[in-house]
């Protein structure tokens, strides 16, 4: 395994559970990248609706992929319980806030599709979504009771401990420098030594380097920016997310929020279109969005700010690759990795064990670099500006 995020850690854990001799290489420490630096929302579904997946992939594979997403929350909850991972996990449901009347038909259609697949989805009116979130800016809401919230870095560290407990060997501060094959096996070189293995899984997300050169050029990294207030007074906690839901919305440049175990309001959104540094303009905009959504917090200060890189693909869909026999790569969780990445890691482990991609409930695709990838930052900046303007025009 190359990459110590949710996908790589879950894959290593499930390979070890199946008796495989498993080594995981992580350039920094478990959860250092996007897995440990996100908003901590467990949203158990892909961004594509079930019928979209079925139309694109066929009833068998499309249905299996939808089911994998739907079961991701149960998988994560089970891992947390089985290995006693202390990550502030609560499963009180996920609300999708509908930011405009224009977005409402698609949300109703999503609810219909998931209800037909047995999911207990409920549509919320304006007053109910305001009461459950504390924000009166949504025209409606979509409630999935299987969603939840957690501390993502604690989850990553817990998965790493579980993988080691089951026999996997984890090497931190060990960036993989190259992957080579002689046709019989693979050699993964690091600055500290060489790992010889039969198969390699690369799960490095937005932090992908040149191990598979085309892989880095196939994604559009986008910063996920988070802020957190100081712990809110008890009276305020009764008005903001009083029942513990986590929330994201339907904006093109979405915002999302939850209350953590310390009573801090954690509020997130999109940041810059590349690079690790947080820009003050984005932080100011994000804090203004939070205070606009929750004017009741008044002047309560923001005390924490952090960011990570999200691995977006042009179609906002997960991609799984097998460019050579024994070499696997997965990329493009597009902001749904807290739930989806551990589930995909388990599915990859099953395929690796039998050396057969047909065991994957996911489509394989060739690595497709984004044309003119070197121009991605100015192009994405223009797209972000246009999306922000459209959200403002449509918003309520």
- Per residue in 86-144, pLDDT (tens digit) is 999 999 999 999 999 999 999 999 999 999 999 999 999 999 999 999 999 999 999 99
Span 223-230, average pLDDT: 94
Q: Is residue 345 part of a domain?
A: yes
CA of 340: how far to CAs of 6, 61, 185, 282, 345, in Å?
A: 9, 16, 29, 27, 9
Q: Is residue 277 part of a domain?
A: no
Q: Is residue 288 part of a domain?
A: no
Q: Is residue 120 part of a domain?
A: no
| pLDDT for position 223 | 84
CA distance 164 to 194: 20
When pLDDT is cut at 50, 70 and 90, the band that residue 35 belongs to is very high
Check whether 393 has a pLDDT greater than 80.
no
93 torsion bin: left (phi>0), alpha (psi -120 to 50), beta (else):
left
Residue with tokens 């250092």: 32
User: Angle at CA 42, nearest 5°, toward 40 and 48?
Assistant: 120
Span 222-249, average pLDDT: 96
Q: Is residue 8 part of a domain?
A: yes
Centre a 10 Å sphere on the Cβ of residue 246 and count the other Cβ atoms it contains: 27
pLDDT of 157-198, one tens digit each? 999 999 999 999 999 999 999 999 988 899 999 999 999 999
CA distance 136 to 126: 8
Give the domain CATH number at 1.
3.50.50.60
| pLDDT for position 91 | 98
Beta strands (DSSP E) in 262-359 are 265-270, 302-312, 319-324, 327-331
Domain span at residue 8 reads: 1-91+146-219+313-365
Best CA proximity match to 257, nearest among 38, 76, 34, 100: 38
Beta strands (DSSP E) in 231-298 are 246-249, 255-259, 265-270
pLDDT of 348-364, one tens digit each? 999 999 999 988 999 99
Centre a 10 Å sphere on the Cβ of residue 291 and count the other Cβ atoms it contains: 17
Best CA proximity match to 206, nearest among 282, 280, 284, 271: 271
When pLDDT is cut at 50, 70 and 90, the band that residue 282 belongs to is confident
Centre a 10 Å sphere on the Cβ of residue 82 and count the other Cβ atoms it contains: 9
Span 63-67, average pLDDT: 97
| pLDDT for position 375 | 43
Which helix (H) or strand (E) is 8 found in, with range? helix 6-17
Q: Is residue 193 part of a domain?
A: yes
Q: Is residue 163 part of a domain?
A: yes
pLDDT of 285-331, one tens digit each? 899 999 999 999 999 999 999 998 888 877 778 999 999 999 999 99
| pLDDT for position 386 | 39
CA distance 134 to 80: 29
Q: How many domains does the chain have?
A: 1
**Residue % of the chain over a pLDDT of 90:** 78
Q: Is residue 252 part of a domain?
A: no
Q: Is 74 helix (H, G, I), strand (E, B) or coil?
A: helix
When pLDDT is cut at 50, 70 and 90, the band that residue 377 belongs to is low
- The end-to-end CA distance of the chain, in Å, is 46
Please compute, for residue 324, the number of CA atoms within 13 A of its CA located in the half-sphere on the CB side. 14
When pLDDT is cut at 50, 70 and 90, the band that residue 367 belongs to is confident
């Amino acid at each position: 395994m190359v990459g110590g995020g949710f996908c790589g850690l879950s894959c290593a854990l499930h390979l070890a559970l199946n008796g495989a001799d498993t080594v995981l290489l992580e350039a920094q420490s478990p959860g250092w990248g996007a897995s440990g630096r996100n908003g901590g929302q467990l949203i158990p579904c892909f961004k594509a609706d079930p019928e979209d997946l079925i139309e694109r992939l066929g009833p068998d594979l499309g249905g299996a992929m939808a089911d994998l997403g739907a079961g991701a929350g149960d998988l994560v909850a089970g891992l947390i319980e089985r290995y006693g991972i202390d990550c502030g996990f609560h499963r009180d449901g996920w609300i999708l806030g509908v930011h405009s009347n224009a977005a409402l038909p698609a949300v109703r259609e999503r609810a219909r599709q998931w209800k037909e697949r047995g999911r207990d989805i409920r549509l919320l009116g304006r007053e109910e979504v305001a009461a459950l979130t504390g924000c009166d800016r949504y025209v409606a809401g979509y409630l999935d009771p299987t969603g939840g919230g957690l501390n993502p870095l604690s989850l990553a560290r817990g998965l790493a401990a579980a993988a080691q407990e089951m026999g996997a060997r984890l090497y931190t501060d060990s960036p993989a420098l190259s992957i080579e094959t002689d046709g019989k096996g693979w050699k993964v070189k690091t600055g500290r030594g060489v790992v010889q293995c039969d198969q390699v899984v690369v799960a490095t997300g937005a932090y992908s380097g040149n191990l598979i050169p085309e892989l880095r050029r196939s994604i559009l990294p986008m910063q996920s920016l988070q802020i957190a207030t100081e712990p809110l007074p008890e009276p305020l906690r009764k008005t903001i997310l009083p029942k513990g839901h986590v929330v994201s919305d339907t904006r093109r440049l979405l915002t999302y929020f939850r209350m953590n175990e310390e009573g801090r309001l954690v509020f997130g959104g999109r940041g810059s279109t590349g690079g690790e540094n947080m820009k003050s303009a984005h932080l100011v905009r994000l804090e203004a969005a939070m205070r606009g959504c929750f004017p009741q917090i008044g002047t309560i200060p923001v005390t924490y700010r952090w960011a990570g890189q999200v691995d977006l693909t042009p179609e906002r869909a997960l991609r799984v690759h097998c460019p050579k026999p024994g070499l696997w790569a997965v990329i493009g969780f597009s902001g749904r990795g807290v739930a989806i990445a551990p589930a995909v890691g388990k599915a990859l482990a099953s395929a690796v064990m039998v050396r057969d991609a047909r065991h994957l409930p996911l489509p394989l695709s060739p690595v497709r670099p984004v044309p003119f990838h070197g121009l991605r930052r100015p192009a994405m900046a223009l797209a972000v500006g246009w999306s922000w303007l459209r959200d403002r025009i449509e918003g309520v």
